[in-house]
Amino acid sequence: MPQSIQLQKSGSRFTGSGLLLLVLWVIVQAILLVRFGIRTDLEPAKYISEAKYFLETGSLSSPNFWLYSTQIFLFTLAIKFNTGFVPVYIVQLLLNGIATWQFYRFANYQFNQRSAFLITTLLILTIPIQLFNCILQTESIFFSLTLIFSCYLLRQEKLRAKNWLALSALMIIILFTRPTGLLFLPGFLLYLLWIFYRKNGFAITAAIFVSGFILFFLFLNMALGSGGELNFINPFQTETIICGVPGIEGLADINVPDNPNSVQGLFYYVTHNTAQFSRLAFEKTKSFFFLTRPYYSSSHNIFLVALIVPFYLFCIISLRWWWKNKRSTMCYCLVYIFITWISVILSCDDWHNRFFLTILPYLYILSLPLIDRIADRFMPAKRPVA
């Protein structure tokens, strides 16, 4: 077994590295709070309105809002008990802190304190992610819960009842935090199957696989048809690459399915409008992976490309290590990145790269082997005694 895969258990202790990370995290959060304050305008206002509606009627104005209900119910409690919205900010901040610590523990568990410190520092300094802590919309809680879920899952070598219950509870909360929580289900199922297969063989594993993915598509179909603002054919009719920025005036002449907000409707669109879909998919792929935007300056776009391309190279170079040592972790990360990309080409990319930000921590994870190798040249890590 390579030295770098020897597992250190000190990630659960509050070490000197942990203290430095805590200080850095506090400084970053304080600067962002002073600079931007607690934002409740724009998108948060929609969830505040839904919270008031729920208090008045006992329900939500549209079924799709149940897929954002974690945030809505936090606002509901704040309004009900007249506490103001500072407690919502505190909840977001606490969850972010827990997610950051879990990220550090996972990296330390997989490699060592040095690499864990470096990659967690990078996460803390990823300001676009941290900034959402000050904005009381769903992204902050979603980022934090999914990272807590993933880091906890990827440390599991055996499936015990308490682990299963904890992961299932987290998954349910994630599904009601943002609709894109569904995108974590396939990776979750595959990771569980990896554990099951080693002990139960092919037949049981195949049964779980088929049942799990039927359940995934049923949930997906339900989410697509939940109504409200969701309209999955509109980006193709308007040739929209960036959500909210139509590519053409009017509507494109395409074959429109009878029920566009469904898996069958999306399949119909792709198979009956292949040329347009392929062209838009290429443009959305460039937008998603390279972060470029037509409303950014050329220098800004070049800077973004120069910033992200090295991480792709780090990830590609590191894949050999993951394949050799920890395929389950590699597959989990790649499956989530792949499914998020597919969801973008089947809809549109976000104005502020929010969809890309959800995959960024997993790019950091995938790049860990090369980061560890490079760091080892300059500051060799103290390995635990076998």
Quick: pLDDT tens for 222-233: 666 555 556 778
**Spatial distance between the Cα atoms of 264 and 228, rounded to a whole number of angstroms:** 19
Give me the percent of the chain exceeding a pLDDT of 70.
85
CB 111 within 8 A of CB 368: yes
pLDDT digits (tens, 9 = 90+) for 161-189: 788 889 889 999 999 999 889 889 888 88
Q: In the structure encoding, which two tokens stand for residue 255, read together?
A: 């074959």
> What's the whole-number mean pLDDT along residues 314-318?
96
- 157 pLDDT band (50/70/90 cuts)? confident
CB 319 within 8 A of CB 366: yes
**Spatial distance between the Cα atoms of 253 and 266, rounded to a whole number of angstroms:** 16
Say what the pLDDT of residue 202 is: 59
Say what the pLDDT of residue 119 is: 96
pLDDT digits (tens, 9 = 90+) for 240-266: 999 888 888 888 888 888 777 777 888
Say what the pLDDT of residue 62 is: 87
Report residue 242: phi and psi, to 5°. -100, 125
342 vs 204, residue with greater confidence: 342
Residue in 292, 311, 300, 305 with CA at minimum distance from that of residue 349:
292
Say what the pLDDT of residue 138 is: 95
Say what the pLDDT of residue 226 is: 52
Say what the pLDDT of residue 209 is: 63
Q: In the structure encoding, which two tokens stand for residue 366, read together?
A: 């995938």
Is 195 a residue whose pLDDT tops 50?
yes
Is 198 a residue whose pLDDT tops 80?
no
Q: Residue 211 contacts by C-beta under 8 Å, 6 or more apart in sequence?
A: none
Say what the pLDDT of residue 9 is: 44
Is 345 a residue whose pLDDT tops 70?
yes
**Spatial distance between the Cα atoms of 220 and 39, rounded to a whole number of angstroms:** 31
Is 382 a residue whose pLDDT tops 80?
no
Q: Domain ranges for the chain, please list them.
A: 233-386
Is 60 a residue whose pLDDT tops 60?
yes
Read off the amino acid at residue 201.
Answer: G
> Mean pLDDT over all residues of the chain?
87
Is 19 a residue whose pLDDT tops 90?
yes
**Spatial distance between the Cα atoms of 130 and 132, rounded to a whole number of angstroms:** 5
217 vs 108, residue with greater confidence: 108
**Spatial distance between the Cα atoms of 226 and 149, rounded to a whole number of angstroms:** 25
CB 155 within 8 A of CB 65: no
DSSP string, 293-354: -TTS-HHHHHHHHHHHHHHHHHHHHHHHHHHHH-HHHHHHHHHHHHHHHHHHHTS-B-TT-H
